[in-house]
Amino acid sequence: MSDLILPEAMKPAYDNFHFAPAQRHDGVVYASGQIGTGAGGKVPESAEEEFRNAWQAVGLILNEAGLDFANIIEFTSYHVGLQEHLGTFMKVKDEFLKEPYPAWTAIGITELAVPGARVEIRVRAG
C-alpha cells in the first residue's frame, strides 16, 4: 500500500488532473514531474526562474514527506531545448543539490504538458 503525499498548494492539480504529486511506497517517495510555472500557472520568460520554480516545487513535495533535497536518490529531468538550456539548468540544480549527488538522467524532448515549459523534474527520494 502506498501513502499519498499531497501538499495543500498542489491539491487543485490533484483534483483537476487526477494524479498524485507523490506517493511513498516501502519508504521511497516517488514524485511526479514538476514544471516550473509561476503565478497564475504561467511559464516565466526566464529559463533560470522556471528551473528554480521547478526545484522549489520538488522541495515542497519533499517537505510534505518529511524529507529534503539531501534525500533525493535519483532524478530525471525532461528538457525542451536540452543543449540550449543545460548549463543554466545545472547552475540552478546546484543551488538545491549538494554532494553526494544523486543519480541523474537528462532527456531531451519536444514538448511538455504546459505550453512553453522547458523542463520537468521527477524524483525518487528516501
Average pLDDT over residues 50-68: 98
Q: What is the pLDDT of residues 32-43, one digit of tens each?
A: 999 999 988 899
Q: Where are the alpha helices (DSSP H) in the chain?
A: 11-17, 47-64, 82-96
Model confidence, pTM: 0.96
Q: How many other C-beta atoms are found inside a 10 Å radius of the C-beta of residue 9?
A: 11
Amino acid identity, residue 62? L
DSSP state of 9: G
Q: What is the pLDDT of residue 87?
A: 98
Q: What is the pLDDT of residue 39?
A: 81
Q: What is the pLDDT of residue 1?
A: 81
Residues above pLDDT 70, as percent of the chain: 100
Domains present along the chain, CATH in parentheses: 3-125 (3.30.1330.40)
Q: What is the pLDDT of residue 40?
A: 84
Set of cell numbers at residue 14? 490533484
Q: What is the pLDDT of residue 110?
A: 98
Residues forming a β-bridge with 109: 80
What is the distance between the alpha carbons of residues 2 and 102, in angstroms, rounded to a whole number?
Answer: 23
Side-chain-side CA neighbours of 95 within 13 Å: the count stands at 13
Q: What is the pLDDT of residue 5?
A: 98
Q: Is a pLDDT exceeding 90 seen at residue 82?
A: yes
In the predicted model, what is the mean pLDDT of the chain? 97
